[in-house]
Chain A
Amino acid sequence: MPIPRGYSEAIVTPQQSRSVEAVWSYVATSSGRGVILPDGRCDLILRFREDQRGTVQPVVTGPATQPYEIRYAAGDGWVGVRMRPERGIAVWGNAIGTAKDQVRRGAEAVTLVPALAELVDMAPCEAELRAGLLDVPDVLAHQDVDARVARTVQQIHLTGGRVSVVELAARVGVTARHLGRLFQSSVGLGVKTYIGLVRFHRALRLAARGGVALSEVAFEAGFADQAHLSRAVRRFGGISPGRVPPELILPDVAGSGQGLFGAAGQF
């Protein structure tokens, strides 16, 4: 795609959005429920009741591979920082190896991330909590990022997950086994699991763009056929094909900035 001269609107690429910790927030204006699809990353979250002091509750998640259902009432709010995939270890330390699909709340979350302690006493104001939370990634204990893991994450996204672990390992000059250990101890997931998540999300996004038959989406996304795609949707989305909740929440894994609520309806 050529980019024309003079087009100067800020372009944020997926790569850029993955290389920084992204802050997000949401305050519900009505009650409801939502399903958050897993993106393999760790989040630091503050949950609060708008305008009620003393309601700020810290939540720390491990790398997610399972869909997560939330129920909320009007005035429930969240602010969160989504960590880069390879920075799972910064949040969980050496416990990252067993952090998959784990959630720590309240005191347990503070034990894991002591810097959250002072935020708990803050006023339940979205803007102030956002600002406070954004400082937390900088003071986490493990700041080192293994360049080989970061490069592997990048490679998995560029190939849309159509790449073998052996090939990924060769590209960073280690054995597949060693890459598996490095990846697990940094991201908290196996390489293959992360590959599966990336393929799943790419398929969802291609489907959401519309105009292309689902069988073609399955092929382009690297699934042998539509049945394989459906299995991935069941595994990571917990959704039976044909029974998709309209309130599906897709994390912005590719960093495209597109809101995709209910976008996967055709599954």
Chain B
Amino acid sequence: MKLGYTIIYVADVPATVAFYETAFGLTQRFVHESNLYAEMDTGDTALAFAADSAAEMNGLAFAPNEKAAVPAGWEICFVTDDVAGGFAKAVEEGCTPVTAPETKPWGQVVAYVRDMNGCIVEIASPIDQVRD
């Protein structure tokens, strides 16, 4: 098996796609005509959004992503050389700041925000994997 998709269930798919385009600079590659599903242009492993009601249709039930709710215990991480700029832009476009950019002991710059649906998004500088 390989990781094919990361699918985040949201109340409003087109609004979330538009939000990710402005807040994180992604581009969409496909929005289904039903507006129940969309994919961002993120390479082989698609970041996708599906409507809450599509999940219900498939028998799934979950704690819906919502700004006012406690976020689910996982995150999306975007990598950029300009974490401070990315963080400022995300907050300016409507993300809720969680932690401002800070440098970790291993040299990586990391910031956290929550997106329009309350999902945790990390913005981090690239890290060179140490290989031996």
Interface residues of chain A, those whose CB is within 8 Å of chain B, are 1-3, 5, 7-8, 11, 13-16, 155, 157-163, 170-171, 202, 205-206, 209, 254-256
Contact segment of B55-63, B104-112, B119-127: B55-63
* 21 chain-A/chain-B pairs, Cβ below 8 angstroms: A1-B7, A1-B50, A1-B58, A2-B7, A2-B39, A2-B48, A2-B50, A3-B32, A3-B54, A5-B30, A11-B57, A13-B57, A15-B52, A158-B62, A159-B62, A159-B63, A160-B60, A161-B61, A170-B68, A209-B59, A255-B57
Give the chain B neighbours of A159 by CB distance below 8 A.
Answer: 61-64
Give the chain B neighbours of A170 by CB distance below 8 A.
Answer: 68
Report the minimum CB–CB distance from B44 to chain A (whole Å): 13
Alpha-carbon gap, A13 to B4, bound state (A): 24
Task: Considering the complex, give the chain A residue whose CB is closest to the CB of B61.
Answer: A160
Give the chain B neighbours of A2 by CB distance below 8 A.
Answer: 4-5, 7, 37, 39, 46, 48, 50
Task: Considering the complex, give the chain A residue whose CB is closest to the CB of B52.
Answer: A158
Q: Is the CB of A157 within 8 A of B30?
A: no
Give the chain A neighbours of B52 by CB distance below 8 A.
Answer: 15, 158
Q: Is the CB of B63 within 8 A of A13?
A: no
Q: Is the CB of B56 within 8 A of A11?
A: no
Q: Is the CB of B64 within 8 A of A13?
A: no
Nearest 6 pairs of A and B residues by beta carbon: A160-B61, A15-B53, A13-B53, A3-B37, A14-B56, A158-B64
Tally of A-B Cβ pairs under 8 angstroms: 71
Q: Is the CB of A13 within 8 A of B50?
A: no
A3-B64 in contact given A13-B53, A205-B59 (Cβ < 8 Å): no
B66 sits at the interface (CB 8 A): yes
B34 sits at the interface (CB 8 A): yes
Report the minimum CB–CB distance from A204 to chain B (whole Å): 11
A254-B56 in contact given A2-B5, A159-B63, A159-B64 (Cβ < 8 Å): yes
Task: Other than A157-B56, A171-B68, A254-B57, give 17 A-B pairs with Cβ distance below 8 A.
Answer: A1-B7, A1-B54, A2-B37, A2-B39, A2-B48, A13-B36, A13-B51, A13-B56, A14-B56, A14-B57, A15-B52, A158-B64, A159-B63, A159-B64, A171-B69, A206-B59, A256-B57
Interface residues of chain B, those whose CB is within 8 Å of chain A, are 4-5, 7, 30, 32-34, 36-37, 39, 46, 48, 50-64, 66, 68-69
Report the minimum CB–CB distance from A227 to chain B (whole Å): 21
Give the chain B neighbours of A8 by CB distance below 8 A.
Answer: 33
Q: Is the CB of A158 within 8 A of B56?
A: yes
Alpha-carbon gap, A1 to B77, bound state (A): 21
Alpha-carbon gap, A33 to B95, bound state (A): 57
Report the minimum CB–CB distance from B59 to chain A (whole Å): 6
Give the chain B neighbours of A157 by CB distance below 8 A.
Answer: 56
Alpha-carbon gap, A154 to B57, bound state (A): 13
Alpha-carbon gap, A155 to B11, bound state (A): 11
Alpha-carbon gap, A202 to B46, bound state (A): 30
Report the minimum CB–CB distance from A230 to chain B (whole Å): 20
Alpha-carbon gap, A69 to B32, bound state (A): 42
Task: Considering the complex, give the chain B residue whose CB is closest to the CB of A209.
Answer: B59
Report the minimum CB–CB distance from B58 to chain A (whole Å): 6
Give the chain A neighbours of B36 by CB distance below 8 A.
Answer: 3, 11, 13
Report the minimum CB–CB distance from B50 to chain A (whole Å): 7
Report the minimum CB–CB distance from B130 to chain A (whole Å): 35
Give the chain A neighbours of B61 by CB distance below 8 A.
Answer: 158-162, 202
Q: Is the CB of B59 within 8 A of A13?
A: no
Task: Considering the complex, give the chain B residue whose CB is closest to the CB of A156.
Answer: B61
Report the minimum CB–CB distance from A78 to chain B (whole Å): 27
Q: Which of B34, B37, B53, B66 contacts A171 (CB 8 A)?
A: B66
